[in-house]
Each structure stands twice: as C-alpha cells, then as structure tokens.
C-alpha cells in the first residue's frame, strides 16, 4: 500500500440523518503534518464531517482513506461496497485520536488510567511501558501532579488536556478536535489552545472544528469553510479569514474582522 500522497483523503462523502442530507459530497485531502481548521455556521456539517473521519458517523456514500488504507469505501469501484470489516475499522479508528467538546473522560478512572486505557485495552500494550509513556504525556500537558486525580477533581481545562493526552497515547496519525474549547470557561481556553499549538508544532496532523477564529488564524495551515454540507471555501487562513469571497463566509467572519482589521498592519508588515 502506497504511503505517498495525502495522509487523509475524503472523497465524495455523503451523510444523511433521516431525510436531511448534512454532507452533500465532500472532498478533502490533508497532508501529513498539516493543520486544517473547519469553520462554518452551526448545522453546516463541520462536526458531522469530523465524526465521519473516524466513523463515529457512518457515511452513506463516498470513500475515506487514512495512510493509504480505506477505512470506509462505498465507491462503485469497491468490490464489497462499504463492507470494511469491523476489526479493520477498529484498528484504523485507533490511528485517529479524537478530542471532544465535553471532554468525555472516563469518570471512574484517574487521569493516568484514562491516558493508559487505550494502549492497554485496545493495543494490549505492556502496562509498565504504557504507564511511563502516559506520565510523560501528562507532563507535556503540564499535568505531572494530577495523574492520580479523578476527572471530577480537575478543572475543565485540565480535563481537556488529559483528553488530549489520552488521544495522543494511541500514537494517532491524525488528531481530530471537535470544538475543544467551547465548553470551557474563558480563562481556561488559553491553556488548551497552547497545548494544541505545541502539538501542532511537534508535527501532528490535525483537523480542528472551532468557532474561535483568532485561534484558527494562529494554528491553521488551511481553513475550510463549510456551508450547508459542502466546502464553500478552502485556503490559507489569510485568504479565507481576511479576504473571503463567498458571500456567506463574508458575513460569517464579519465579527472576526473587527479585530482582524486592527491586526492587519502587523500581519502584512511582518
């Protein structure tokens, strides 16, 4: 299987909830190490698209490959339609890490146990090696003193950083973030964003759904604007966020422009 070409490839993905089609044939390629931010109004399909990448939402049509391997294939060329076996799905799924809006830590496990759970249960990894690695990951997230605490004893920002460590512990090829800062108190947003920027700088491939346009500007290599289940604009953050062409994107980034106008001289000067 070829490892060249994009790390993540989405072709013609459609998703229906009942009669409502929320994704109307989305094509998207993400290169290794690239950070892609999905923006769009609520109901535009950005979270649905993210959840299709690890099949938490099962698409109705299309093809998704990660590292050259099909995780979902309903293209006419596929012999068995979408019948990628469940075992393969679980294996490929474990190559994507996901961070949720509501953290979704396991409340009956400590922070350390949360981080160890994936490798130990899914990959049957050695417990001692995993523990060392998990402690390292927690330390990278600035949580070295919190490994023994239960989620309810941690702040929202700390919980979300544990959740990032939990996803990283599986050594995923792609990290998916579903509005990771939306449920946080404003003063806790910064610490989670910093952890994500550090992760991006370490070369992690990331797909992020967020409403924080300033953050998108800072972290993204590419910004994608989804509108009614299709990709309406796709490009570098400077173009998409500062010089939008699509009329709905213009109104969407309007509020952001108030701050962006102030920043523009600095950005274009440097």
Using CB under 8 A, which of 44, 47, 48, 96 touches other proteins?
96
> Minimum Å distance from CB 58 to other proteins?
11
Binding to other proteins by residue 140, rule CB under 8 A?
Answer: no
Structure-block tokens of residue 211 = 């409403």
Using CB under 8 A, which of 98, 199, 216, 226 touches other proteins?
98
Total number of residues that touch other proteins (CB under 8 A):
25
Q: From 40-48, 102-110, 209-217, 236-244, give the range in contact with other proteins by CB under 8 A.
A: 102-110
Binding to other proteins by residue 54, rule CB under 8 A?
Answer: yes
> Minimum Å distance from CB 101 to other proteins?
9
226, containing H or E segment: strand 222-227
Q: Which of 63, 86, 89, 90 is nearest to 74 (CA)?
A: 63
> Could you tell me whether strands 20-30 and 8-17 are parallel, antiparallel, or unpaired per DSSP bridges?
antiparallel
Is the Cα dihedral 125, 130, 133, 138 positive or negative?
positive
Q: Which is nearer to other proteins, 2 or 121 (CB)?
A: 121
Binding to other proteins by residue 159, rule CB under 8 A?
Answer: no
Q: Which is nearer to other proteins, 8 or 253 (CB)?
A: 8
Backbone angles phi and psi of 242, in degrees to 5: -105, -30
Q: Which residues contact 237 (CB under 8 A, 6 or more apart)?
A: 37, 216, 217, 220, 221, 222, 223
> Minimum Å distance from CB 121 to other proteins?
6
Q: Is 222 left (phi over 0), alpha (psi -120 to 50) or beta?
A: beta
Using CB under 8 A, which of 32, 41, 56, 135 touches other proteins?
56
Binding to other proteins by residue 177, rule CB under 8 A?
Answer: no
Binding mask of the shown chain, residues 107 to 126, with x at each position contacting other proteins by CB under 8 A: xx--------xx--xx----
> Minimum Å distance from CB 99 to other proteins?
9
Q: Which residues contact 249 (CB under 8 A, 6 or more apart)?
A: 225, 227, 232, 233, 240
Report d(CA 74, CA 64) in Å as an integer.
9
Task: Give pairs for 70-78: CB < 8 Å, separation 24+.
Answer: 75/11, 75/12
Binding to other proteins by residue 105, rule CB under 8 A?
Answer: yes
Binding to other proteins by residue 59, rule CB under 8 A?
Answer: no
Q: Which is nearer to other proteins, 105 or 224 (CB)?
A: 105
Q: From 100-108, 188-196, 224-232, 262-270, give the range in contact with other proteins by CB under 8 A.
A: 100-108
Secondary-structure percent of the chain, ordered helix, strand, coil, rounded to 5: 40, 25, 35
Binding to other proteins by residue 210, rule CB under 8 A?
Answer: no
Using CB under 8 A, which of 40, 59, 62, 97 touches other proteins?
97
The DSSP output letter for 207 is E
Is the Cα dihedral 132, 138, 139, 145 positive or negative?
negative
Structure-block tokens of residue 111 = 């922070």
Binding residues for other proteins, per CB under 8 A? 54, 56, 86, 90-91, 93-94, 96-98, 100, 102, 104-108, 117-118, 121-122, 163, 166-167, 170
């Amino acid at each position: 299987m070829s490892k060249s070409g994009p790390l993540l490839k989405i072709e013609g993905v459609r998703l229906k909830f009942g009669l409502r089609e929320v994704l109307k044939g989305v094509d998207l390629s993400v290169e290794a190490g690239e950070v892609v931010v999905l923006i769009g109004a609520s109901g535009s399909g950005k979270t649905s698209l993210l959840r299709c990448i690890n099949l938490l939402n099962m698409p109705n049509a299309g093809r998704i490959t990660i590292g050259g391997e099909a995780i979902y294939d309903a293209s006419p060329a596929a012999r068995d339609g979408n019948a990628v076996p469940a075992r393969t799905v679980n294996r490929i799924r474990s190559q994507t890490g996901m961070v949720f809006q509501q953290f979704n830590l396991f409340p009956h496990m400590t922070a350390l146990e949360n981080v160890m759970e994936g490798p130990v249960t899914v990959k049957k990894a050695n417990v001692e090696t995993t523990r060392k690695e998990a402690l390292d990951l927690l330390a990278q997230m600035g949580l070295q003193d919190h490994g023994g605490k239960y989620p309810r004893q941690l702040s929202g920002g700390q919980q979300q950083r544990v959740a990032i460590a939990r996803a990283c512990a599986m050594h995923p090829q792609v990290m998916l973030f579903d509005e990771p800062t939306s449920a946080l108190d404003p003063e806790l947003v910064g610490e989670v964003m910093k952890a994500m920027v550090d992760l991006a700088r370490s070369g992690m491939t990331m797909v992020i759904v967020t409403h924080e346009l300033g953050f998108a500007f800072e972290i993204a290599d590419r910004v994608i604007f989804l509108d009614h289940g299709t990709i309406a604009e796709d490009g570098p953050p400077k173009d998409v966020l500062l010089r939008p062409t699509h009329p709905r994107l213009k109104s969407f980034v309007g509020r952001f422009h108030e701050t962006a106008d102030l920043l523009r001289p600095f950005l274009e000067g440097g």
